[in-house]
Structure 1
């Protein structure tokens, strides 16, 4: 059933995009609070109070860009329903709270009726739901910060999440909340759900994916005890897609060349805390846009990232994150489908011009 609904919503999303329709802010949790009390939404705390943020641009021709963030709060939602397959939260009147999910398909479909579902379980008491979007970027920077804020405000609340094999989330729960969480595979309704506003802190509802500086700060503070750069040699690392769906043809040859130049190869197979430890000692990180670049979060200030901009894309996700973490980001434009000898040579030449190629580059950094 869930698969059919996803397919249907994908079709709707394409139609919405073609028609130029976008979502509005009246389906976010703050709007439910402002409308009336019949939705069972109560404001109980504050999540972030950042307004205008000015960023230096390393991914476009602009010198600076400004994000205008609304104030964000923490809410208690009475008789909230949770559709676990896609982490969707509904208020007591059955309306979708669009910011409960990191999936743009639902944020785009704010006015399209979603299939009704009947909760199979009713949970008495107060709960905090850890949304688990099985994408490292969205989970770490969207789902996790608001969970941390809610949990700090209501540490006595019970913790629930959907049943998953997503290793970073399981590592997180087992490290910090062993024996205190439950993984559910049923659609549920709970007497009281605590959640912090999420979408409103991402620049504006019209700009999906903007990183909120407060969320970056929250995550880094939470893991501060695990972020102690060691005295080992600084590493040059390449994020490899070899063997994966989005690996460009010919990438394996580039990997072999990078190995010969002293690069280590990261394939994403580490657990959460292994990645935190590993990337603290990365001085140069090279890779195409993808979830693995989220590990900028753990890199030391002054480290460098070279993003291989496939087909010249200039998505702001990682440049914003680098800015907040005081990491320097460069772009190298490359095609996405196939990397022949001339393209690989061009990548090598540009890495060389940045001082990251040829022998021990540590003195050039």
Structure 2
């Protein structure tokens, strides 16, 4: 039965593009001051296959726009936007190029009851809901509601099936005065009479955010006090919810970091406000690749050291986020023996690849010490 479901998912889950759906509508494009940013250092960085398209002399923002669509289907369980007929996933509503093809998505498309929501709506959540995607991909989409034309609307309904602690903290601070949050049930689909579709402000595998949005976010969300810029932060993953990418010799590493004035933090035990205050006063941050590094969005021109458990950078999101924030970014890759240039590496099945990139690993403590000595 499982095998049959997988086959049906591959055959029946199809995608469409926004450009096919708004032929009669006029898109509103966000014009950004710093449309591109030099990224010459990427030429010397070993990016994993999915991210190699970003290895360019400069990073260019994607087309950032909003457009009003009619009769779009929203499926809250997986946060999918679907075209009306034929029923297909709107690919532009996903922050990655991969279309999810699993049994729950199949059921969302073909087996769910559909209710109607009248009026003007928008959806900012997406299929990916981890901490990184909440901050970098999903919430920034609401910035596009600041358009003067939308301010004239009587009401905009922000459709959401569930509120994470981060959403609860930040939404009241950034949504327009004429917007209100509408909670919906996950076991239904909803036909949205009018949808303001807002694009993502980032590219796949890139956390680079436009200057205009970062200024807006800082004004609305940052603490209203001077920075102290004194915290030397080591992000531990020992208590991470997914239990992945732990540093096996963390105690040995932290003994070195302690000598440089670092303190260890378990972000899972901190509130959103506590994390914000911590990173707002940061001077330098060290951590293994993980969602906790997203908090550097609260910092100001700091040093960031990202540690990878592979010989390559399999997701350069935080390099690009640091670039947009004007942070100094450094990275260290693992000394493990896998040959990055081995052609057989590219034949690894996706499931095996994910186990490989998420495995626990050892850090070369001497390299960390050498790097810190050159920075501090």
Aligned to 1:337: 360
Q: Select the residue among 129, 144, 153 that pairs with 2:139.
A: 144
Point out where structure 2 has 5 or more consecutive residues left out of the alignment. 46-54, 336-358
Q: Match of 1:86, SS?
A: coil
Aligned residues: 320
Q: Select the residue among 102, 106, 113 that pairs with 2:99.
A: 106
TM-score (norm 2): 0.72
Q: Distance in 2 between matches of 1:50 and 1:300?
A: 20
Q: Shift of residue 306 of structure 1?
A: 0.9
Aligned to 1:61: 44
Q: Distance in 2 between matches of 1:144 and 1:323?
A: 19
Q: Distance in 2 between matches of 1:291 and 1:326?
A: 19
Alignment of 1:65-80 (within 5 A): 65-69=57-61, 71-80=63-72
| Deviation per residue, 1:191-226 (Å, 9 max, x gap) | 11111123xx645xxxx2234542x63144133244
Paired residues of 1:74 and 1:195 also in contact (CA < 8 A) = yes
Q: Distance in 2 between matches of 1:72 and 1:95?
A: 22
The Cα RMSD (Å) is 3.6
Paired residues of 1:90 and 1:97 also in contact (CA < 8 A) = yes
Q: Does 1:167 align with 2:173?
A: no
Q: Shift of residue 283 of structure 1?
A: 0.8
Alignment of 1:1-365 (within 5 A): 8=6, 27-34=16-23, 37=24, 42-48=25-31, 53-61=36-44, 65-69=57-61, 71-93=63-85, 94-102=87-95, 104-106=97-99, 115-131=109-125, 133-150=128-145, 152=147, 154-155=150-151, 156-164=155-163, 166-176=164-174, 180-184=180-184, 185=186, 186-198=188-200, 202-203=202-203, 208-214=204-210, 217-227=212-222, 230-232=226-228, 234-244=230-240, 245-246=243-244, 247-259=246-258, 261-269=260-268, 270-301=270-301, 303-314=302-313, 315-335=315-335, 337-339=360-362, 343-355=364-376
Q: Shift of residue 66 of structure 1?
A: 2.8
Paired residues of 2:66 and 2:198 also in contact (CA < 8 A) = yes
Q: Distance in 2 between matches of 1:296 and 1:231?
A: 14
Distance 1:66 1:175, change over 3 A: closer
Point out where structure 1 has 5 or more consecutive residues left out of the alignment. 14-22, 356-365
TM-score (norm 1): 0.74
